């Protein structure tokens, strides 16, 4: 008995397909021309890696890259995209990226089959080559870092981190998120890290490799040992993603043999992608033992039959594939060839000889009976054939009478778009489509943060000199009251009285002799510093008097205590700078939250509109301090609007752009909008804001179902299809006769209109 062919499917009918694979990131593109057959996948051409900026420039660069694929690509319209993880949300391309892909396919006349996620493709390649693979795969893009944690062949977690100037910090942030999962499930983070990127060249990847090695792995408790870091080379990177794209296309097309050929070639015949090791950095990579070829092949077959590929964001069903495996098994099972039993053969021979002997002596009755028997068999055969013919005729007319032609018509749509300026107004409740004024709402968020900085203010601090003096009065007339604070000077150095003193009048004991009146007093320098430490017997003027009237002399000892030094204090500029920087930080954080809340038809504008502010400093201006801290709370208010609000306005605007004999698509229009920069800087939610917007949709041709039926009725299927596809309004047409068994007998469209069903797509 022959063994069943487990991989015999209807894919033999379509054993080759060519497709274009476009790898697209935020800043770069690269195109490939792939040939997929039962022998595997071949790269017939590939373009250079090109940079782009903006949607229009991206279209030009993609067009240039397709021209580099050669003449064979000119007849290929099928395309599959390779996208970054951040471009996809819940299995669908994000709203901000979808218009770009739509413009590429529409303007370049490409038929999109779907997309694969690049980071997932690399993960699948690694798991396929080693079913127990354990490691962290890091895929860098211009804006994001996608980390995939794989433990024993299973994807445990995927994290996306926004890239900043701190490459090490970005990576450690992703690891911190993985640590919680590893602690919960009780396993250590793997000591193997693999990096890949289209946006970053080898030199930039090596820089990130060094960042990782320079990390303090002693504090990373979820690692048993410092990890090794390897880099996937560009050539191997291209090979890995094109094979995953080819496998996805083959499975979607039902080309199971081709898909299996891609898997088998990848796992058994092709040398595994090489990676830059880390010998030059002082580390070397240790590769785990690989599965034997037999084990790998067995796993490939199991995976191909049991798994549902999800490369296109939604599962690609393998039910038909499973049915083909069953039907293939049944169709290949052969009935045994029985030989004649030897005993039966002998008996038959003997019987034949005996019959021949008795024939010579047969009676006329026997001959008549035999003749009658022959006529009976003839009549029976004729009756059977006539009945069978009648059944066939009845069946044919029954089939033709019950057959229905199902016509699927894909309409040739036309893009319509309009650039315009819309006014957002929070003071109105209803949108005014005529004046392009959109009713909008308000939303606010509160953010709180702390920050500190080194103070920059400088001031002089110290002590004032103190001492004791005798104050003399040269006037005989009367005593003199000197109040507290009276200034005494010794050149540029000045002192002031600590208390009120009364200086006695001078006396004249003998004619011509003058004895000044004197009194002891305490004085303090008016300024800090050592310059006020004057010595004994220094004379001081009593201001504003002349020396001939009053003067003072230092007594007892030198003045002491005067000192000075420079210290750092809080300046006005310090407080302003700290407040400005912290405001900017909080505003950026709140606007990021606004951006995260946007989506699913809700649009929230970025804003700098502060409606409340609370600042708390730890020091006042002039306080001596090495650093200044600030706790700041801000409430930011902005404007929001929804696609539902925009839809009536957009529909009215686009109605004027629709060609004759076309109608606008009923679905939501695509809306790209952004306020002007000036409006953001001076955003006031109580005043109207101007919004620059591009609104686009597509127009559908108006075609009568009855007209289609009337034009194709009675015609052959091929003629009807050609007739429909020749119309400008129709992109393609598919005609199917149901029930399916009627397709062998009927090659024309039924003559009755009620037997024709038309579905517009």
Cβ proximity of 683 and 607 under 8 Å: yes
Does residue 650 or residue 588 have the better pLDDT? 588
pLDDT, average across residues 234-250 = 89
pLDDT in tens, 368-418: 444 545 566 676 777 778 777 777 666 656 656 667 888 888 888 888 887
Q: 10 Å Cβ neighbour count for 291? A: 16
Q: Which helix (H) or strand (E) holds 707?
A: helix 705-712
Residues pairing with 493 in the sheet: 490
Closest by Cα among 493, 35, 58 to 262? 35
pLDDT in tens, 252-275: 888 877 777 776 654 433 333 334
The reply to whether CATH 3.40.50 applies to domain 460-565 is no
φ/ψ of residue 731, rounded to 5: -85, -45
Range scoring the smallest mean pLDDT among 240-249, 353-362, 596-605, 629-638 = 353-362
Token pair, residue 520, equals 């002891």
pLDDT in tens, 501-543: 888 888 877 777 788 888 888 989 888 877 778 877 788 888 8
Residue written as tokens 């199971």?
256
Cβ proximity of 416 and 654 under 8 Å: yes
Cβ proximity of 460 and 608 under 8 Å: no
Give the up-direction half-sphere exposure of residue 365: CA atoms within 13 A in the CB hemisphere: 0
For 119, 125, 238, 239, 428, the CA distances from 235, given in Å and listed in that order, are: 16, 14, 5, 6, 58
pLDDT at 118: 92
pLDDT, average across residues 13-38 = 88
Cβ proximity of 197 and 140 under 8 Å: yes
CB contact set of 37 (below 8 Å; sequence gap of 6+) = 15, 16, 17, 258, 261
* Angle in degrees, 0-180, between the axes of helices 54-67 and 98-107, rounded to the nearest 10: 40
Q: 10 Å Cβ neighbour count for 633? A: 14
User: What whole-number distance in Å separates Cα of residue 286 and Cα of residue 277?
Assistant: 10
pLDDT in tens, 438-484: 888 888 999 999 999 998 888 777 788 888 888 898 887 788 888 89
pLDDT at 756: 84
User: What whole-number distance in Å separates Cα of residue 142 and Cα of residue 104?
Assistant: 21
Q: In this structure, is the dihedral angle defined by the CA atoms of residues 251, 252, 258 and 263, taken in order, positive or negative?
A: negative
Residues pairing with 260 in the sheet: none
* Angle in degrees, 0-180, between the axes of helices 202-213 and 167-185, rounded to the nearest 10: 60
Percentage helix, strand, coil for the chain under 3-state DSSP, each rounded to 5:
35, 35, 30
- Indicate whether 296 pLDDT > 60: no
Measured in Å, how far apart are the chain's first and last C-alpha atoms? Answer: 49
Q: Is 109 left (phi over 0), alpha (psi -120 to 50) or beta?
A: left
- DSSP category for residue 209: H
Q: Which CATH superfamily is 10-141+234-326 part of?
A: ATPase, nucleotide binding domain (3.30.420.40)
pLDDT at 81: 94
Query: What are the extents of the domains in the chain?
Result: 10-141+234-326, 342-399, 402-413+702-760, 420-455+570-687, 460-565
Mean of per-residue pLDDT scores for the chain? 76
pLDDT band at 66 (very low <50, low <70, confident <90, very high): very high
Give me the DSSP letters along 654-666. HHTTPPTTEEE-S
pLDDT in tens, 203-215: 888 888 887 877 7
Residue written as tokens 């250590």?
188
pLDDT, average across residues 162-170 = 82
Cβ proximity of 569 and 604 under 8 Å: no
pLDDT at 21: 94
- Indicate whether 720 pLDDT > 90: no
pLDDT in tens, 450-460: 999 998 888 77
């Amino acid at each position: 008995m022959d063994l069943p062919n487990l991989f015999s499917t209807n894919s033999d009918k379509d054993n080759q397909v060519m497709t274009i694979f476009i790898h697209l990131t935020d800043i770069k593109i690269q195109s490939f021309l792939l040939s997929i057959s039962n022998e595997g996948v071949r790269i017939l051409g590939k373009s250079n890696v090109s940079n782009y900026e903006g949607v229009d420039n991206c279209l030009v660069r993609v067009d240039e890259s397709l021209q580099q694929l050669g003449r064979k690509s000119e007849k290929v319209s099928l395309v599959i995209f390779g996208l970054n993880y951040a471009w996809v949300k819940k299995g669908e391309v994000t709203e901000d990226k979808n218009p770009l892909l739509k413009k590429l396919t529409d303007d370049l006349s490409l038929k999109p089959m779907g997309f694969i996620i690049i980071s997932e493709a690399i993960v699948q390649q690694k798991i396929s080559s080693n079913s127990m693979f354990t490691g962290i795969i890091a895929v860098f893009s211009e804006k994001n870092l996608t980390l995939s944690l794989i433990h024993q062949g299973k994807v445990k977690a995927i994290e996306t981190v926004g890239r900043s100037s701190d490459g090490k910090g970005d990576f450690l942030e992703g690891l911190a998120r993985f640590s919680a999962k590893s602690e919960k499930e009780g396993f250590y983070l793997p000591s193997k890290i693999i990096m890949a990127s289209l946006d970053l060249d080898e030199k930039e990847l090596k820089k990130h490799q060094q960042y990782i090695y320079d990390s303090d792995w002693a504090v990373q408790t979820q690692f048993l040992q410092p990890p090794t870091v390897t880099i996937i080379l560009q050539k191997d990177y291209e090979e890995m993603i094109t094979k995953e794209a080819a496998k996805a296309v083959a499975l979607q097309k039902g080309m199971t043999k081709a898909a299996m050929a891609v898997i088998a070639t990848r796992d058994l015949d092709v040398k595994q992608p090489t990676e830059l090791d880390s010998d030059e950095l002082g580390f070397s990579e240790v590769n785990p033992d690989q599965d034997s070829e037999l084990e790998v092949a067995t796993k490939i077959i199991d995976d191909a039959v049991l798994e549902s590929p999800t490369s296109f964001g939604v599962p690609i069903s393998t039910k038909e594939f499973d049915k083909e495996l069953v039907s293939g098994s049944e169709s290949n099972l052969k009935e045994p060839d029985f030989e004649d039993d030897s005993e039966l053969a002998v008996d038959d021979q003997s019987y034949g000889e005996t019959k021949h002997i008795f024939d010579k002596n047969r009676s006329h009755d026997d001959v008549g009976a035999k003749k009658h028997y022959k006529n009976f068999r003839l009549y029976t055969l004729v009756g059977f054939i006539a009945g069978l013919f009648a059944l066939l005729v009845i069946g044919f007319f029954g089939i033709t009478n019950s057959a229905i032609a199902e016509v699927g018509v894909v309409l040739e749509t036309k893009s319509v778009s309009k650039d315009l300026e819309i006014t957002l107004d929070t003071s109105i409740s209803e949108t005014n489509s005529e004046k392009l004024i959109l009713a909008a709402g308000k939303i606010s968020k509160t953010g709180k943060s702390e920050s500190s900085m080194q103070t920059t203010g400088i001031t002089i601090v110290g002590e004032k000199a103190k001492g004791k003096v005798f104050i003399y009065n040269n006037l005989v007339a009367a005593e003199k009251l000197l109040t507290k604070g009276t200034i005494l000077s010794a050149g540029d150095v000045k002192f002031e009285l600590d208390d009120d003193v009364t200086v006695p009048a001078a006396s004249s004991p003998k004619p011509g002799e003058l004895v000044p009146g004197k009194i002891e007093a305490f004085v303090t320098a008016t300024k800090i510093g050592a310059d006020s430490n004057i010595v004994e017997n220094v004379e001081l003027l009593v201001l504003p008097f002349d020396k001939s009237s009053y003067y003072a002399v230092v007594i007892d000892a030198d003045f002491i205590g005067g000192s000075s030094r420079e210290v750092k204090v809080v300046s006005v500029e310090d407080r302003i700078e700290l407040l400005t920087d912290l405001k900017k930080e909080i505003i950026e954080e709140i606007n990021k939250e606004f951006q995260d809340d946007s989506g699913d038809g809700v649009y929230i504008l970025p804003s700098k509109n502060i409606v409340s502010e609370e600042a708390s400093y730890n020091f006042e201006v002039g306080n001596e301090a090495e650093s200044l801290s600030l706790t700041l709370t801000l409430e930011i208010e902005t404007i929001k609007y929804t696609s539902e609000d925009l839809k009536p306005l957009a529909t009215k605007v686009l109605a004027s752009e629709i060609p004759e004999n076309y109608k606008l698509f009923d679905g939501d229009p695509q809306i790209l909008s952004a306020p002007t920069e000036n409006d953001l800087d001076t955003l006031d939610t109580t005043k109207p804001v101007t919004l620059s917007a591009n609104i686009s949709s597509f127009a559908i041709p108006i075609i009568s179902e009855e007209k289609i039926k009337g034009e194709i009725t009675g015609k052959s299927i091929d003629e009807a299809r050609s007739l429909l596809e020749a119309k400008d309004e129709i992109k393609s047409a598919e005609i199917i006769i149901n029930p399916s068994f009627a397709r062998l007998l009927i090659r024309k469209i039924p003559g009755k209109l009620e037997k024709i069903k038309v579905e517009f797509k």
